[in-house]
């Protein structure tokens, strides 16, 4: 069986999974003598979007890695299903964001020319990065303890979500011609300024993501382990200073060290998350049979706990494996890319998604101190959905160029 046959089988399984999940949701109202037709219609719409996106890419751009899109769609389906279970209005909005994400994905592959010509716009990326990182500090409103949301006419978004796209592009432009340690001075300053804005906004999750992206790209660009060790040393020093200056950081660390001591106040979210995951066991309570409403922020930061409760620990493991496979396919494009800028872009966007998954899942299960960020493609949120599909579209474009050269 060739790769195309495997791709078709995986796509069929995706449709079956989508129909079964939304069919299950539509039958939740059956004991009351009715069927939730909205859930059934939403399932058909989601399947249609997946089919449309795959058809366009496969028909007109057959060379690239189609597994990137399929894995992303499977994760999105899981998220929309759980969101509908929690709040049908949020699920409907997420379908709209999914539509925008798929369209963005397709447009990037269709419209963008060869990516290597974009390496010349280093200072444009630099300016956009600084502006977007600073917006939350200057104009942001506090939400869930972090001052990283901008509201315009009732519409809210996180500038840092878009900022990390430009940060990766800037670092790729700056590091593609690395020859000497002096070439690292400017990128180091930009990264430190970005991390400083995140600390001021109390957005520790984004700070961890930016650090993970920067260190990964630095090592790939230079192959110098000493630079990575230096970065970890500086990050540790910065973390210690931040720990001394900011009370909210000390509270997060205290909760991580002994969550049960804060079970009724600051650690309530993490405790409820752990209880939900434990109550689900391996196979879950079943869709509609759990109590995700008891988990705070259950549609964004803690959606992984809600999924694990109703769909089971096996689904939680499956999600992690799915992210790993998505990361593998994205990094595969980086390995085979011929020009250095495209390779570094692929590494940056791949590590962006992987780091975000590790940080939020680690926080939800109390493996690391909790940081409030979204689970890519699964959590509710337009900013996260659009930026993730934008990044995946660029990665798809790189994979098209790689295979075309071969």
With vertex at residue 377, the alpha carbon angle to CA 121 and CA 68, rounded to the nearest 5 degrees, is 70
The answer to whether residue 164 is domain-embedded is yes
The answer to whether residue 92 is domain-embedded is no
The answer to whether residue 223 is domain-embedded is yes
The answer to whether residue 220 is domain-embedded is yes
How far from the centroid of its chain's Cα atoms is residue 172's Cα? 20
The answer to whether residue 197 is domain-embedded is yes
The answer to whether residue 148 is domain-embedded is yes
The answer to whether residue 221 is domain-embedded is yes
Residue 234, domain extent = 116-245
Long-range contacts of 2-11 (CB under 8 A, 24+ apart): 7/66, 7/67, 7/70, 10/67, 10/70, 11/50, 11/54, 11/70
**Cβ(218)–Cβ(231) under 8 Å?**
yes
Total domain count for the chain?
A: 1
The answer to whether residue 190 is domain-embedded is yes
pLDDT tens, per residue, the chain with 406 residues? 566 778 889 999 999 999 999 999 888 876 666 788 899 999 999 999 999 999 888 887 877 888 999 999 999 999 999 999 998 899 999 999 999 999 999 999 888 877 888 888 999 999 999 999 988 877 767 766 667 778 777 677 788 889 999 999 999 999 988 888 888 899 999 999 998 888 888 778 888 899 999 999 999 999 889 999 999 998 888 888 878 877 777 888 888 888 888 888 888 888 899 999 999 888 989 888 888 888 888 888 899 999 999 999 999 999 999 999 999 999 988 888 878 999 999 999 999 999 999 999 988 888 888 777 889 999 998 889 999 999 999 999 988 765 555 4
């Amino acid at each position: 069986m060739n790769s195309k046959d495997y791709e078709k089988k995986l796509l069929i399984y995706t449709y079956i999974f989508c129909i079964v999940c939304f069919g299950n949701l539509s039958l939740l109202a059956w004991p009351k003598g009715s069927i939730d037709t909205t859930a059934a219609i939403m399932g058909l719409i989601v399947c249609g979007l997946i089919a449309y996106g795959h058809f366009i890419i496969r028909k007109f751009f057959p060379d690239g890695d189609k597994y990137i899109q399929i894995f992303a769609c499977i994760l999105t389906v899981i998220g929309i299903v759980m969101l509908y279970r929690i709040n049908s209005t949020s699920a409907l909005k997420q379908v709209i964001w999914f539509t925008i994400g798929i369209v963005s994905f397709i447009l990037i592959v269709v419209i963008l020319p060869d990516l290597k010509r974009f390496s010349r716009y280093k200072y444009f990326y630099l300016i956009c990065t600084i502006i977007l990182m600073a917006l939350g500090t200057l104009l942001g409103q506090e939400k869930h303890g972090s001052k990283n949301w901008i509201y315009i006419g009732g519409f809210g978004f996180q500038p840092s979500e878009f900022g990390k796209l430009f940060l990766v592009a800037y670092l790729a432009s700056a590091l593609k011609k690395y020859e000497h340690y002096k070439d690292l001075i400017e990128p180091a300053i930009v990264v430190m300024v970005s991390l400083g804005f995140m600390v001021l906004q109390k957005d520790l999750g984004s700070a961890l993501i930016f650090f993970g992206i920067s260190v990964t790209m630095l090592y790939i660009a230079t192959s110098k382990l000493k630079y990575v060790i230096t970065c970890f040393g500086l990050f540790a020093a910065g973390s210690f200073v931040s720990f001394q200056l900011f009370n909210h950081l000390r509270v997060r660390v205290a909760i991580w060290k002994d969550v049960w001591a804060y079970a009724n106040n600051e650690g309530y979210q993490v405790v409820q998350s752990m209880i939900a995951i434990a109550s689900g066991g391996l196979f879950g309570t079943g869709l509609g049979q759990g109590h995700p409403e008891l988990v705070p922020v259950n549609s964004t930061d803690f959606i992984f706990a809600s999924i694990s409760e109703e769909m089971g620990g096996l689904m939680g493991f499956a999600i992690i494996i799915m992210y790993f496979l998505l990361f593998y396919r994205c990094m595969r494009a980086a390995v085979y890319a011929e020009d250095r800028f495209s390779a570094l872009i692929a590494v940056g966007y791949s590590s962006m998604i992987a780091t975000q998954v590790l940080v939020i899942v680690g926080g939800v299960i109390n493996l690391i101190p909790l940081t409030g960020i979204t689970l890519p493609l699964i959590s509710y949120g337009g900013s996260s959905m659009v930026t993730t599909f934008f990044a995946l579209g660029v990665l798809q474009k790189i994979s098209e160029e790689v295979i075309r050269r071969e």
